């Protein structure tokens, strides 16, 4: 697919993250105004609540709400109809006035009300590298890992939008003479994508992979902040707890499945066949260049298609016990890491557990220090256009002892 030309000239530039081909959804406000839903187009935001008020689109009044949950709950057919109408309204040569707002004048908010948050562990490179550091090479990859998506239930209450500061946590860690209560010394990031669930499932109902894919509204950048020293002390026998509860940062823009459709890509090669309930009929991953930076310096680049499990497979497995899903559930992909150090999605891997420093702005680093800003980025490159996700930023504040 080639660039779809827009009446918004900035959206027609080849390096623009938000061309007409993209149309990601978010929530924004201006001074003195209530948050409402919008769509990014070039360097502007189309005010969707304003469009509804003018009778230009029909989303049942949901775009006046301060989150996308109401619109998502209308269902996949309405998602497609609204996207088609927005494409028509924003096309080059379209007539009529539109309620467009300069992105520079807007404040962006959390785009969804996060009902539940589950984080997975779907990069074989990341799983092996971290397992080797915690358990040694012979037990690095759990025997079930290549047979089913592994995850844990996180905290929806600590999911925040890009730009929100993250407080360094206090935590209990292993000391030489016993447990210690200290500020986290090994604060880390995790480069991920988050799948936003846009449809409910009933308790006791199992969802197949094809149905699971139809339930996914779109994707956001996601940074699963991690207190590695706390994690190493607490994770056995039930897995991460407070080491993962300090905060999860997501981007402000939800990139829809429809925008990513031209970029479907197979994932990592299978080590063994999956059970039938996890089988995909078509590739469930995407050719997305992803990476992260520290204090403006790019530290790593890789691709989302290195992952072993797709979001649809993760969602299908999540319901395999009959667990009900809700509109607004957020599924973290797990850290996206390639095979080399410069493709690592976390400092734990990049520094080999704090043994090999990396240089950041001329200074050696092992983990994240107070005042550091971590940024994530992702984009898919099309014919004369790109599909971007916008920034996913978080700056670290000192701990409160």
Residues forming the active site: 126
Q: In angstroms, rounded to a whole number, what is the distance separating the alpha carbons of residues 323 and 273? A: 24
Task: List phi, psi (to 5°) of 212.
Answer: -60, -40
Strands 248-250 and 159-161: parallel
Tokens at 246, concatenated: 């300090």
Distance between CA atoms of residues 380 and 265, nearest Å: 11
Could you tell me if 167 and 246 are in contact, meaning their C-beta atoms sit under 8 angstroms apart?
Answer: yes
How distant, in Å, are the alpha carbons of 41, 143, 219, 382 from that of 20? 7, 45, 17, 12
Which 3-state string (H, E, C) describes the chain?
A: CECCCECCHHHHCCCCCCCCCCCCEEEEECCCCCCEEEEEECCEEEEHHHHHHCCCCCCCCHHHCCCCHHHHCCCHHHHHHHHHHHHHHHECCCCCCCCEEEHHHCEEECCCCCCCEEEECCCHHHHHHHHHHHHCHHHCCCCCCCCCCCEEECCHHHEEECCCCEECCEEEEEECCEEEEEECCCEECCEEEEEEECCCCCCCCCCCHHHHHHHEEEEEEEEECEEHHHHHHHCCCCCCCHHHCCCEEECCCEEEHHHHHHHEECCCCCCCCCCHHHCCCCCCEECCEEEEEECCEEEEEEEHHHCCCCHHHHHHHHCCCCCCCCCCCEEECCCCCCCCHHHCCCHHHHCCCCCCCEEECCEEECCCCCCCEEEEEEEEECECCEEECCCEEEEEECCCC
């Amino acid at each position: 697919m080639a660039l779809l030309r827009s009446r918004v000239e900035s959206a027609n530039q080849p390096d623009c993250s938000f061309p007409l081909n993209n149309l990601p959804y978010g929530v924004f406000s201006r001074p003195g105004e209530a948050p409402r839903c919008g769509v990014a187009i070039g360097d502007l935001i189309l005010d969707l609540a304003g469009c509804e008020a003018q009778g230009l689109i029909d989303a049942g009044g949901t775009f006046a709400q301060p989150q996308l949950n109401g619109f998502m709950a209308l269902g996949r057919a309405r998602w497609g109809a609204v996207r088609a109408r927005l494409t028509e309204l924003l096309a080059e040569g379209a007539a009529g006035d539109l309620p467009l707002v300069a992105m520079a004048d807007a404040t962006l908010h959390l785009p969804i009300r996060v009902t539940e948050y589950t984080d997975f562990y779907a990069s074989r490179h990341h799983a092996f590298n971290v397992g080797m550091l915690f358990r040694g090479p012979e037990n690095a990859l759990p025997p079930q890992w290549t047979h089913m998506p592994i995850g844990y239930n996180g905290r929806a209450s600590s999911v925040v939008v890009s730009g929100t500061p993250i407080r360094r946590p206090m935590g209990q860690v292993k000391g030489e003479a016993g447990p210690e209560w200290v500020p986290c010394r090994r604060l880390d990031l995790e480069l991920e994508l988050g799948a936003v669930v846009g449809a409910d499932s009933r308790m006791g109902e199992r969802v197949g992979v094809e149905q699971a894919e139809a339930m996914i509204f779109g994707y956001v950048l996601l940074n699963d902040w991690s207190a590695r020293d706390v994690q190493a002390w607490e994770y056995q026998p039930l897995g991460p707890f407070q080491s993962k509860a300090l905060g999860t940062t997501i981007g402000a823009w939800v990139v829809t499945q429809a925008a990513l459709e031209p970029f479907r890509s197979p994932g990592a090669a299978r080590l063994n066949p999956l059970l039938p309930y996890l089988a995909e009929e078509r590739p469930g991953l995407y050719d997305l260049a992803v990476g992260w930076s520290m204090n403006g310096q790019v530290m790593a680049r890789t691709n989302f298609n290195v992952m072993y499990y797709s979001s649809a497979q993760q969602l299908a497995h999540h319901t395999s016990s009959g667990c009900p899903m809700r509109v607004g559930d957020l599924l973290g992909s797990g850290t996206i890491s390639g095979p080399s150090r410069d493709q690592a999605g976390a400092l734990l891997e990049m520094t080999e557990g704090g043994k090999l420093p990396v240089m950041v702005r001329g200074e050696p680093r092992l983990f994240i220090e107070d005042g550091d800003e971590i940024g994530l980025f992702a984009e898919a490159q099309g014919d004369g256009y790109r599909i971007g996700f916008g920034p996913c930023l978080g700056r670290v504040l000192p701990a409160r002892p």
